[in-house]
Amino acid sequence: MRAMQVTELGQPLVLRDIPRPTAGPGQVQVKVHTCGLNFGDLLIIKGTYQEKPARPFTLGMELCGTVTEVGAGVQGLAVGQRVAAYCGFDALAEYAAIPANICVPVPDVMTDAHAAAFLIAYGTSHVALDYKAHLRAGERLLVLGASGGVGLTAVELGKLMGAEVIAVARGDAKLKVAQTMGADHLINSETDDIRNIVKGLGGADVVYDPIGGDQFKAAMRACNPEARLIPLGFASGEVPQIPANHLLVKNLTVIGFYWGGYTRVNPRVLTDSFKVLTEWYVQGKIKPHVSNVLPLEQANAALDLLRNRTATGKVVVSVA
């Protein structure tokens, strides 16, 4: 089968012919239809992600596909069933063998592209805002990186949950996308003073931050007393150092959050979240924003869209 693999760190993926994997005990073999790309894929290529598999390995964290083989001991999944999964690796290939317990059924009304764009982006934002930050209706939510894969879903879900949403993104075009997803206020990170504008709007009660760096510092200074800050990524390249005295003065709470970690420590959090999100999708309350769909052999170009920050929402690779 064909697979896009990392053979050397920091180098483009290589399209290789490798053996098709078979389903072992507790696994299913899936014919991959689509793979959703994520910022974490770029970190894996550089070797700076928290997980570092031996090379060569197949890139791709999340997929949508059809079950083609069921391993021993698997219950609840059948050949021909369409599923989505957060697998961490192996999704940029024509077939993948993955644990059955990480697969979730895909509703008939959900397209392959939407299914591949759904789990990580919506799951991250929903668990962060609902389970971790306990966002309440009427609160003011500040979303940094609001036009990206996770940021855009935070805008959409925050509005659905009844918050007043402030979206921060780079440039007017990206801010317009955030506005279509429900943002009430727009801040251009290239030209605007985040701290002063947010304070002028009444301050932030919850901060959703996949960016870090100076934007985190500005957001923290614009927080209301008892605000909650969720750092969940550092796209700026700078991990902010948080002064504890600032937390003390305003009774602020900084909440550590790694969505993928729940697959090991408490997977029920993710499955419960996915049930809610699937219901909202079927009801038409949420809809993934997929800006680009490219074929497997153009996976490097697809990654460049993330690397150069020219995409909005999700970038998806079509495999089938």
Is 130 in the same domain as 151? yes
Boundaries of domain holding 94: 2-118+288-318
Pair of tokens at residue 126? 């929903």
Residue 28's H or E segment, with its range, is strand 27-36
d(CA 267, CA 273): 10
Dist CA 142 CA 177 (whole Å): 16
In a shared domain, residues 114 and 230:
no
273 within a domain of the structure (yes/no): no
Q: How many CB atoms lie within 10 A of CB 315?
A: 27
Query: What is the arithmetic mean of pLDDT over 10-39?
Result: 97
For residues 293 and 255, state if they share a domain: no
Contacts of 198 (CB under 8 A, 6+ apart): 142, 166, 187, 204, 218, 219, 222
Same domain for 185 and 149:
yes
What are the tens digits of pLDDT across the range 68-86? 999 999 999 999 999 999 9
The neighbour count for residue 86, using CB atoms within 10 Å, is: 24
Buried b / exposed e over 38-58, threshold 16 CB at 10 Å, is bbbbbbbbeeebeeeeeeeeb
CA atoms within 13 A on the CB side of 91: 28
Q: If pLDDT is split at 50, 70 and 90, which confidence band does 277 have?
A: very high
Is 211 a member of any domain? yes
Q: Is the pLDDT of residue 271 over 80?
A: yes
Q: Please indicate, yes or no, whether residues 72 and 189 belong to a single structural domain of this protein.
A: no
Domain co-membership, 128 together with 231? yes
| CATH code of the domain covering residue 183 | 3.90.180.10
Per DSSP, 93 falls in state: B
Distance CA 116, CA 288 (A): 10
- pLDDT over 90 at 171, yes or no: yes
State residue 320's pLDDT score. Answer: 77
Asked if the structure places residue 274 within a domain, the reply is no
Confidence of residue 224 (pLDDT cuts 50, 70, 90): very high
Query: Does residue 187 form part of some domain?
Result: yes
Please indicate, yes or no, if residue 109 is contained in any of the structural domains.
Answer: yes
Same domain, 113 and 175: no
Q: In the predicted model, what is the mean pLDDT of residues 85-111?
A: 94
Q: Position of tokens 């305003």?
A: 250
**Percent of the residues in the chain that have a pLDDT greater than 90, as a whole number:** 88
Tokens 């760190």 -> residue:
9
- Mark whether 103 and 165 lie in a shared domain: no
Residues 145 and 210 in one domain: yes
| 73 and 159 inside one domain | no
What confidence tens digit (pLDDT) does each residue in 108-137 have? 999 999 999 999 999 999 999 999 999 999
Same-domain pairing of 133 and 202 = yes
In angstroms, the CA 230 to CA 37 distance is: 22
Q: Look at residue 237 in the predicted model and tell me its pLDDT.
A: 85
* Residue 8 confidence class, pLDDT cut points 50, 70, 90: very high
141 in the same domain as 226: yes
Q: Evaluate if residue 49 carries a pLDDT over 90.
A: no
